[in-house]
Amino acid sequence: MHRYKIADVVFDLQTIYGYTVKLCENYAYTGNEPPAFFAVMTKEDIDAEKKLAPEFPEPYLESLAVFRKLCDYCLINADGIIFHSSAVMVDGKAYLFTAPSGTGKSTHARLWREMLGERAVMINDDKPIIRYIDGKFYVYGTPWNGKHRLDTNMRAEIKAICRISQAKENSIRKVSGAEMLMTVMNQTIRPSDITAMDKLLSLIDKMLKSVDLYFLGCNISREAAELSYTTMSGEKLL
Amino acid sequence: MKIKDGFILREVAGSFIVVAVGDRAKDFNGIINLNETGAFLWERLSKGADENQLKEALLAEYDVDENTAAADIKNFVSKLEEAGLLK
């Protein structure tokens, strides 16, 4: 059995394969907080994931099943949601880039790192957890960190969410919650249980009302990163 | 005429959306975005209103003439039918 703390949730885990244990090693927990739940992974958990993604090997599917259990717990008990995005922290504030897979959110986050150097910290490049705590939205690093394996075991308050689309010319504009809603819905893991769904929708409603929202059309260039960074942070580049 | 079970309409961030829950989520994974009138009609259709009742409700609530209301309802209902959302 292994104990982890992810998104400030402590839990115990027993897996069939070693893959998830290796994946989560930076999140191992040895402190005094008691675990919130104990997940014992079974063949059935893996089979359920196999139905959704039959092309992947079982050890990887088991890691997805663990992630799903953690997400289910977070949504109901910890005001937590999964938002498919690339989360970068600069000067203590987090910026989340979202887009359908393959559009370039990881690439844009990389442009920020090239431009800002060590000031830009990758919280998670693929599947961060967002939690609503005391009236603020925080993004947490998780080990489910995308193909470039980028994450940091920390949290940061979210300043802005930015939807990326590919464009020849760079442009950015602030948008309303109503404009951003479908993007967020499509990039969030949605439950089928009605109580959980209502919880998710109320969290999304609050989030869209409390963080800055932008649509960015961009190419792959330093200018694109400059435009998105200066607009969203309100800072000038030194 | 009624909306199939398992669809819920909610207002989120000033926008109206319909999502599937329970068993319905197994065969419907999408999200439907409705405008205000669409949400108004959906709510009544989920309680089983027919086209006449929808028209009366629209006329009572909105500043719209009878022909426009009837055409809007026909259009909305046929879209729902096409999408397989009615029973």
Which of B15, B22, B26 is facing A194, going by the closest CB pair? B22
For residue A182, which residues of chain B lie inside 8 Å, CB to CB? 17, 31, 33
Q: Contact, B18 vs B35, CB < 8 A?
A: no
Q: How many Å apart are CA A213 and CA A188, to the nearest integer?
A: 16
Selection from A176, A169, A159 nearest residue A227 by Cα: A169
pLDDT band of residue A101 (cuts 50, 70, 90) is: confident
Chosen from A51, A183, A205, A209 to mutate, greatest number of chain B CBs within 10 A = A205
Residues B56-63: contacts with CB under 8 Å, at least 24 apart: B62/B37
Q: Which domains does chain A have, with CATH numbers?
A: 2-78 (no CATH), 81-233 (3.90.228.20)
pLDDT of A73 reads 96
How long is chain A?
238
For residue A211, which residues of chain B lie inside 8 Å, CB to CB? none
Q: Which domains does chain B have, with CATH numbers?
A: 7-82 (1.10.10)
Summarised one tens digit per residue, pLDDT across range B13-65 is 999 999 999 999 988 888 999 999 999 999 999 999 999 999 999 999 999 99
Q: What is the mean pLDDT of residues A85-90?
A: 97
Q: What is the mean pLDDT of residues A175-182?
A: 96
First to last CA, chain B: 6
CB atoms within 10 A of CB A179: 17
Summarised one tens digit per residue, pLDDT across range A190-199 is 999 999 999 9
Contact state of A177 with B20 under an 8 Å Cβ cutoff: no
Query: Which chain A residue's Cα is nearest to B23?
Result: A192
Sheet hosting strand A2-6, strand order edge to edge: A2-6, A9-14, A37-40
Instruction: Let me know if A86 is exposed, middle or buried by CB neighbors in 10 A (0-12, 13-18, 19+).
Output: buried
Which of A186, A192, A209 is facing B22, going by the closest CB pair? A192
A91 and chain B in contact, CB less than 8 A: no
